[in-house]
Structure 1
């Protein structure tokens, strides 16, 4: 079983996937920073100073010993108040769209730079191959008509 596991881990696809996950995690942090620190403030400014991450609906009571702001999403969440953070969802949705668009641009650029391998000519259908074999066999036979 250990030998099978080692064989599985050492296959190229698994190693490629591991590298992709590590690079993806690092790339995700970059995109999160781009979203949170650059794009969302601009979007918020365009829409009148909105901070999407602070949009939420409180679903439960605030604890009696809570001393923070009733509009501070992070503090309420830390205090254990049940919240529906739709603003955070909007931020994550924008983050996803940005990641998807960047990946699209990268793949598009790679497809333009890397030459496409030439496709092998399609194999002839079986009936055509059979007819050619019959033709060749007939040509190879000696003629008996005297010509």
Structure 2
């Protein structure tokens, strides 16, 4: 049992678990902001465009009446769709900005991996692999012309 809790402690204190927890907390706070934006600003503007219609009252009663009625809340669903689209738009913009910043950082830090110069080459006569600075092939003993010229 002690080993189990030790393993759990190691898991919970890993960096990515803590990052995920912070992301969830910030996401919850961000959701509250977007819900307020949709409910208090965007939906009233859409309502004003459509002649003062209150979207919360857009309901379709399928059966019954009163408290036992089966009702489809189309206005509430519309607000949820607008809410989702706004969250997706903001998330897209944030990720696009982060990717752009990451690209700029990589360029500034010269993260491009330079290719190493080849250490071997192929003998043009016997097609064996030989050191790049060889002047004579150790396999076929041919004099390598391009190395002899330099």
Q: For CA contacts below 8 A with separation 6 or more, give which structure has more relative contact order.
A: 1
* Distance apart, 1:81 and its partner CA: 3.5
* Distance apart, 1:116 and its partner CA: 3.8
Please, which of 32, 35, 40 is the counterpart of residue 38 of structure 2? 35
Count of paired positions: 129
Please, which of 116, 119, 140 is the counterpart of residue 112 of structure 2? 119
- Say what the alpha-carbon RMSD is for the aligned residues: 3.3
* Distance apart, 1:100 and its partner CA: 1.0
Runs of 5+ in structure 2 lacking a partner? 123-127
Moved more, 6-15 or 99-108: 99-108
* Distance apart, 1:8 and its partner CA: 1.3
Q: TM-score, normalized by length of structure 1? A: 0.70
User: 2:121 touches 2:132 (CA, 8 Å); kept in 1?
Assistant: no
* Distance apart, 1:16 and its partner CA: 0.6
Please, which of 113, 134, 139 is the counterpart of residue 129 of structure 2? 134
Runs of 5+ in structure 1 lacking a partner? 64-78
What is the alpha-carbon distance in structure 2 between the residues aligned to residue 95 and residue 12 of structure 1? Answer: 31
What is the alpha-carbon distance in structure 1 between the residues aligned to residue 142 and residue 100 of structure 2? Answer: 62
User: 2:120 touches 2:129 (CA, 8 Å); kept in 1?
Assistant: yes
* Distance apart, 1:33 and its partner CA: 0.4
What is the alpha-carbon distance in structure 1 between the residues aligned to residue 64 and residue 25 of structure 2? Answer: 40
What is the alpha-carbon distance in structure 2 between the residues aligned to residue 90 and residue 32 of structure 1? Answer: 12
Structure 1 residues 11-22: aligned runs within 5 Å? 11-22=14-25
Larger radius of gyration: 2
